[in-house]
Amino acid sequence: MSVPLSILTALASGFPAPQAVLNQPGQINVAQWGLVEERTGNPEVAWALGVLPNPVTRSNIIGLRHANPNIRRRRVAIASLMWGYGISGARWGAQWVSDVSNFLGPDLDAVLAACEANLTVGAIAEAYQLFTLPGPRDTELEGYRGIGSSFFTKILYFLARNALQDSSADYPLILDTKVSMALSQLTGYRLLVRPESYRPRPDSSAYVQYVKTMHAWAAKLNVLPEVIEYYFWAEAAKSGSPLWPTCQAQHALDFP
C-alpha cells in the first residue's frame, strides 16, 4: 500500500471537496427512461422521472426515504442507474432498454433486500455475488446482461450509503473502467496491458480488497473514500491530468 499511498499523498491537494463529490450530477435521459417505463409499467421508474431532480446527484440518491423498504430500495437502484448512465456518456439503444427492463423485473425486490441485509452486516462479497453467477474454474460471470460491474457497484454503493448513513463501517464503492484505469496507473500495471484490459471483470474477492484498500487510503489521508474514487474517475483519462505523470515519477524512484 505504501507506493500508491505516496502517490496519493502527493496528489491530495488536488482532491475535490467532499460536498463536490456528493453533489456530482448525473443527467437523466428522460426519453430513454421513458421507454423503460413504457416497456415495464414500473411505477418507480415513473416516480423517478416525475419526482427526482434532473440532474440528480449522489446526495439526492443517498437521501431517498420511504416507509416501505422495498419501494425505497427499488427507487435507490433505479436512481443509481439513472445517475450512472447520466455521468458515463453511455450509448443508448434498444438492447440497453431491453436489458434494464429485464433487470427491473419482479425478482429485483428480493435481490435488493438480500443485498441490503448483507451490507448491513459488512458482507460485501455476498452482496456483490447477488449480481454475478458462478463461472468455470472458480471465476465469476456477470449475472445480468447489460448491468456489469460498472453499474451494479453503483447500486451497491448507493444502497449501502442510503441504508447505513450513520455507519462507520466500510461500505462499497463504485468500480468502473475509469477507476480501474486509474488503479492501473497507481500500481504501474498500465505499462503492461492494453487499454481494453482496464474493464473490471466480475470478481467479488478482488472487489472486497479494492473497497478495503480505498477505505484504508481514505483513513490515512483523512478524506471520504468516494473522494478518492471520484478523483480516479475524473482524472484517469483526462488530458493534462497530473495523475499519470505523478505515478510515473514515483514508480521511477521505487522501481529503478
227 vs 187: CA distance, rounded Å:
19
243 vs 247: CA distance, rounded Å:
6
Smallest CA-to-CA distance from 158 within 146, 140, 172, 139 is with 172
CA angle 245, 248, 253 (to 5 degrees): 130
Identify the pLDDT of residue 203: 96
User: pTM score, two decimals?
Assistant: 0.95
Smallest CA-to-CA distance from 92 within 160, 27, 32, 180 is with 32
154 vs 81: CA distance, rounded Å:
8
pLDDT-derived band at 252 (thresholds 50, 70, 90) equals: confident
Residue 170: which residues within 8 A CB-CB, separation 6 or more? 122, 124, 211, 212, 215
Identify the pLDDT of residue 90: 64
Are 70 and 109 spatial neighbours (Cβ–Cβ below 8 Å)? yes
89: left (phi over 0), alpha (psi -120 to 50) or beta: left
Domain around 88: 2-254
DSSP-assigned letter for residue 191: G
Q: Answer whether residue 196 shows pLDDT above 70.
A: no
Q: Answer whether residue 86 shows pLDDT above 60.
A: yes
Residue 153: which residues within 8 A CB-CB, separation 6 or more? 128, 172, 173, 174, 175, 176, 207
Average confidence (pLDDT) over 113-134: 97
Q: Answer whether residue 67 shows pLDDT above 80.
A: yes
Q: What is the pLDDT of residues 151-191, one digit of tens each?
A: 999 999 999 999 987 667 899 999 999 999 999 888 877 66
Query: Percentage of the chain with pLDDT > 90?
Result: 76
The number of distinct structural domains making up the chain is 1
pLDDT-derived band at 199 (thresholds 50, 70, 90) equals: confident
Q: What is the pLDDT of residues 200-242, one digit of tens each?
A: 889 999 999 999 999 999 999 999 999 999 999 999 988 899 9
